[in-house]
Chains A and B, each alone.
Chain A
Amino acid sequence: QKEVEQNSGPLSVPEGAIASLNCTYSDRGSQSFFWYRQYSGKSPELIMFIYSNGDKEDGRFTAQLNKASQYVSLLIRDSQPSDSATYLCAVIGNSGYALNFGKGTSLLVTP
């Protein structure tokens, strides 16, 4: 079982809608959780990180963490075509040193 699981998609949403991306992880001792965005042919870039249970908002993005259920999600409000990309969930386990990435969810926002 891979440590970080994501549905590969593609997830298609219309412009202006809310996109919901989900991720589960297997290491219950994981401490830190991250969402990276990767445009086609480009390198990943950090969007948000979350450490505590609950919600964390940054502009149109909201990260949600539920450690008891071992899932983390990313909501994108008012989705724009420019949000079309692959979203990578990453987790740092007990070692606290390196990120373990999921395979990513492809998001397509249609005009």
Chain B
Amino acid sequence: EAGVVQSPRYKIIEKKQPVAFWCNPISGHNTLYWYLQNLGQGPELLIRYENEEAVDDSQLPKDRFSAERLKGVDSTLKIQPAELGDSAVYLCASSLGVAGNTGELFFGEGSRLTVL
């Protein structure tokens, strides 16, 4: 069974440019998460979807970040315009049901963003 797939794995852009990350969760997982991980830090939640509904986006900087999960499967995270401080790894994760059941989130390999 395929795991969580993310693309691109690496992206280098200049500041003020737009960037988008794509995530395909594990088949059947209705809950999808986007986390941001800075070097030496733990993952920080940006947004959580249950099916196609964003049920927790309180930590998403909405002035420049946006996300969507069409048809409750794939998801896209966009940053426009990117700033130097956005350089980080963007992790997508999925789970069967809400995390509170088992806490087992399945993470993708991440998309490493470098903003110059």
A residues contacting B by CB (< 8 A) are 4, 6, 8, 31-32, 34, 42-46, 49, 88, 90, 92, 96-104
**Closest residue to A35 on the B side, CB-wise?**
B103
Contacts of A101 on B, CB cut-off 8 Å?
42-44
Q: How many A-B residue pairs have CB under 8 A?
A: 60
Given A97-B56, A97-B98, decide whether A8 and B105 contact each other with a Cβ distance below 8 A. Answer: no
User: CA of A8 to CA of B39 in the docked complex: distance in angstroms?
Assistant: 12
User: CA of A101 to CA of B42 in the docked complex: distance in angstroms?
Assistant: 6
Residue pair A44, B43 in contact (C-beta under 8 Å): yes
Given A43-B109, A43-B110, A103-B41, decide whether A97 and B55 contact each other with a Cβ distance below 8 A. Answer: yes
User: CA of A92 to CA of B40 in the docked complex: distance in angstroms?
Assistant: 21
Interface footprint category on B: 20 to 34
- What's the minimum C-beta distance from B93 to chain A, rounded to whole angstroms? 8
Residue pair A49, B48 in contact (C-beta under 8 Å): no
- What's the minimum C-beta distance from A36 to chain B, rounded to whole angstroms? 8
Given A44-B43, A101-B44, decide whether A31 and B109 contact each other with a Cβ distance below 8 A. Answer: no
Residue pair A34, B56 in contact (C-beta under 8 Å): no
Residue pair B104, A88 in contact (C-beta under 8 Å): no
Residue pair A90, B91 in contact (C-beta under 8 Å): no
Interface string of B35-57 (1 = CB under 8 A from A): 00000111111001000000110
Interface string of B73-116 (1 = CB under 8 A from A): 00000000000000000010000001110111101111000000
Any A CB within 8 A of the CB of B22: no
Contacts of A45 on B, CB cut-off 8 Å?
107
Given A8-B40, A97-B56, A98-B45, decide whether A43 and B108 contact each other with a Cβ distance below 8 A. Answer: yes
**Closest residue to A34 on the B side, CB-wise?**
B103
